[in-house]
Amino acid sequence: MNPTWSRFNITSVVLGFAFLYLPIVLLVVFSFNASRLVTVWGGFSIKWYGELFRNQGLMDAAWVTLRVGVISATVATVLGTLAALALTRYTRFRGRVLFSGMVFAPLVMPEVITGLSLLLLFVAIDLDRGFLTVTLAHITFSMCFVAVVVQSRLMSFDRSLEEAAMDLGAPPVKTFFQVTLPVIAPAVVSGWMLAFTLSLDDLVIASFASGPGATTLPMKIYSQVRLGVTPEINAACTLMIGIVAAGVLAASIVNKRREAQRQRDAQAALRA
């Protein structure tokens, strides 16, 4: 047996994956449980998914979560990409250290502190808590993750492609949209997916920033779980897992196709 895959290593990997994914598998399985008791199997049924869609409170929270996720991820992707460009292309400017620290601070800042500081800010500027404040809060803490992903791609970007485009008369803005952006598009898409997933998952920061009419799905689930887990919650969590998994799979397929097309274009250029 290969020493790299010793019996101890295999057992450790199996136990590690079981610890991570077995609870998720059980949650998905019991979402199809016919019994109302979530720990007792009563047969296969999809009736709880019907009950979920008839639960107006959960549906309203899911709609708020999706809107917040899409808007915050889109804005965070734009701002994070611009921040990554500034940090990568302009290595020396006054206040760069401060700017870099402000961009990446949410990465290491406890969510409780981030949520509390945003709450104090909203109160200080007399901004009513609701959909807008939750969206702003999610943009604040997810932008740094996009910046990290895009910056790592820009570090290995071949600047000669941009220089060649500008030598041919393309202005900087056109060069960015027609040369730079297509090359870093997989990183931008990955950053958007990461920001969207973080927004779907957030509970702590949303709890500080939300107000009447802006209850997100994690907040709704948490408030109901405190009174006991219901089959509708298992169904809701299963749908969230499915949405995130489908998004990750779609992003992976798109990135692979882009990479394959880029390799074909490079081979065609070499043959020419």
Name the pLDDT band for 136 (thresholds 50, 70, 90). very high
- Residue type at position 98: L
CA dist list (Å): 238 to 37, 65, 125, 231: 17, 15, 39, 11
C-beta separation of 94 from 157 below 8 A = no
What pLDDT shows up at residue 99? 83
pLDDT digits (tens, 9 = 90+) for 180-237: 888 888 889 889 988 998 898 888 999 998 887 788 888 888 887 777 777 888 888 8
C-beta separation of 147 from 87 below 8 A = yes
CATH superfamily of 56-271: MetI-like (1.10.3720.10)
* DSSP alpha helix (H) spans, the chain: 7-30, 47-54, 56-89, 96-108, 111-124, 131-155, 159-167, 172-175, 181-201, 204-209, 217-225, 231-271
Name the pLDDT band for 178 (thresholds 50, 70, 90). confident
Domain ranges across the chain: 56-271
Please state, in angstroms and rounded to a whole number, the distance separating the CA atoms of residues 207 and 220: 10
C-beta separation of 232 from 49 below 8 A = no
pLDDT digits (tens, 9 = 90+) for 64-122: 999 999 999 999 999 999 999 888 887 777 877 888 888 888 888 888 999 999 999 99
| Residue 33 phi, psi dihedral angles, 5° rounding | -80, 135
In eight-state DSSP terms, residue 4 is G
Query: Does the pLDDT value for residue 171 go beyond 80?
Result: yes
> What is the distance of C-alpha 102 from the center of its chain?
20
What pLDDT shows up at residue 269? 63
